Amino acid sequence: MAPSLLDLAPVVPVVVIEDASDAVPLARALVAGGLPAIEVTLRTPAALDAIRAIAGEVPEAVVGAGTVITPDQVTETVAAGARFLVSPGWTDVLLEAMQASGVPFLPGVSTTSEVVALLERGVTEMKFFPAEAAGGTAYLRSLAGPLPQARFCPTGGIGSANAPDYLALPNVGCVGGTWMLASDAIAARDWGRVEALAREAAGLKTLRAQV
pLDDT tens for 25-65 read 999 999 999 999 999 999 999 999 999 999 999 999 999 99
C-alpha span between 171 and 145 (Å, rounded): 10
Give strand ranges (E) for the chain: 11-15, 37-41, 62-66, 85-86, 105-106, 108-109, 125-128, 151-154, 175-177
Q: Cβ–Cβ contacts within 10 Å for residue 104, how many?
A: 19
39, 57, 76, 114: which is the annotated catalytic residue?
39
Would you call 127 a catalytic residue per the annotation?
yes
- pLDDT of 207 reads 53
Model pTM score: 0.95
pLDDT tens for 189-198 read 999 999 999 9
- pLDDT of 211 reads 45
- pLDDT of 206 reads 54
Residue 154: asked if its preceding bond is cis (omega within 30°), the reply is no
C-alpha span between 132 and 157 (Å, rounded): 5
Identify how many contiguous H helices and E strands the chain contains and give both numbers: 10, 9
Which portions of the chain are predicted below pLDDT 70? Answer: 1-3, 205-211
- pLDDT of 150 reads 98
C-alpha span between 28 and 24 (Å, rounded): 6
- pLDDT of 45 reads 98
H or E stretch covering 92: helix 92-100
57, 125, 127, 195: which is the annotated catalytic residue?
127
